[in-house]
């Protein structure tokens, strides 16, 4: 059975127990990272994801807390000797940001066969995600993954993953304030993983995340991307529970959600 594993659950400021928010969808044949915080290849091995199954990364937007692990992910895949194409999906500006960062880091010197002691080439395929509702990013025998643009300070997508085997679906809001496109994407979803950063433009409070879960008829709400440092975590949960009658969890690093 497929599973979605939380690799980090904090907002941009992490603490001792919570890394920045990102996650991996693990199937039998393929695994897909969604955003990319610190030391991704280390964490994938900690949670037991076979690196040979990792074939894609979906970037929701290019704020640093969501993409800073990309350079070391690509360096690690190259050192691992990856031969199969690795796909990176994201909004146009996010793809441009990542390629610019990689160029500044002079990745062509190693990733494209320039290093004399390791002449293999890392095949990376960048693909822009259309900023429209219902864009189908990945269709595989195991998963159907669709996106929708949400309301943040830069172009950002929410991601819906559906298991073809079970029909179950999980939606990850990414960073957003409450918006219609997210409500439509998450309608009737089994698990809504929703940010709860707080009362800031382009973000949501835990109460707004609870209200969104109620509106969508979600089976469960998992709060993520909250400011954990010095925070009343139980207060966050209660604020969401005041709006949503279903189960509410605070995401934990390395929590596993079967799909």
Q: Which residues bind Zn ion (CB under 5 A)?
A: 63, 65, 175
**Nearer to Zn ion among residue 19 and residue 65 (C-beta):** 65
Apex 24 CA angle, 23 and 27, nearest 5:
155
Least separation in angstroms between residue 214's CB and Zn ion is: 24
Which of 1/17 has CB closer to Zn ion?
Answer: 17
CB 147 within 8 A of CB 184: no
CB of 64 to Zn ion, least distance (A): 8
Residue 197 Cβ, how far from Zn ion at the closest point, in Å?
Answer: 7
CA atoms within 13 A on the CB side of 100: 8
Compare residues 2 and 33 and give the one whose CB is closer to Zn ion.
33
CB of 61: closest distance to Zn ion in angstroms?
6
Rounded to whole angstroms, what are the CA distances from 38 to 18, 64, 207?
A: 11, 11, 29
CB of 169 to Zn ion, least distance (A): 23
Q: CA-CA distance, 188 to 144, in Å (whole number)? A: 16
Of the pair 123, 202, the CB lying nearest Zn ion is at 202
> Cβ 139 to Zn ion, closest distance in Å?
27
Q: Of the two residues 27 and 37, which places its CB atom closer to Zn ion in the complex?
A: 37
Nearest residue (CB) to Zn ion, 82 versus 225: 225
């Amino acid at each position: 059975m497929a599973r979605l594993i939380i690799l980090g659950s904090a907002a941009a400021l992490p603490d001792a127990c919570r890394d920045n928010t990102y996650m991996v969808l693990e199937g039998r044949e393929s695994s897909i990272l969604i955003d990319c915080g610190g030391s991704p290849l280390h964490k994938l091995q900690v949670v037991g994801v076979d690196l040979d199954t990792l074939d894609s990364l979906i970037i929701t937007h290019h704020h640093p807390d969501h993409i800073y692990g990309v350079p070391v992910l690509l360096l690690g895949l190259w050192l691992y000797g990856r031969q199969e194409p690795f796909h990176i999906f994201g909004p146009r500006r996010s793809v441009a940001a990542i390629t610019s960062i990689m160029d500044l880091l002079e990745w062509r010197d190693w990733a494209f066969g320039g290093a004399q002691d390791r002449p293999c080439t890392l095949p990376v395929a960048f693909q822009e995600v259309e900023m429209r509702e219902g864009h189908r990013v990945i269709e595989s025998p195991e998963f159907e993954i669709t996106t929708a643009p949400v309301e943040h300070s830069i172009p950002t997508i929410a991601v819906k993953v559906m298991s073809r085997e079970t029909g179950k679906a999980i939606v990850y809001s990414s960073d957003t304030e409450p918006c219609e496109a997210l409500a439509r994407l998450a309608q009737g979803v089994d698990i809504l993983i929703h940010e709860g950063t707080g009362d800031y433009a382009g973000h949501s409070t835990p109460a707004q995340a609870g209200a969104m879960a109620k509106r969508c008829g979600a089976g469960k709400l998992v709060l993520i991307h909250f400011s954990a440092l010095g925070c009343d975590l139980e207060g966050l949960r209660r604020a969401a529970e005041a709006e949503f009658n279903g189960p509410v969890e605070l995401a934990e690093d390395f929590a596993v959600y079967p799909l």
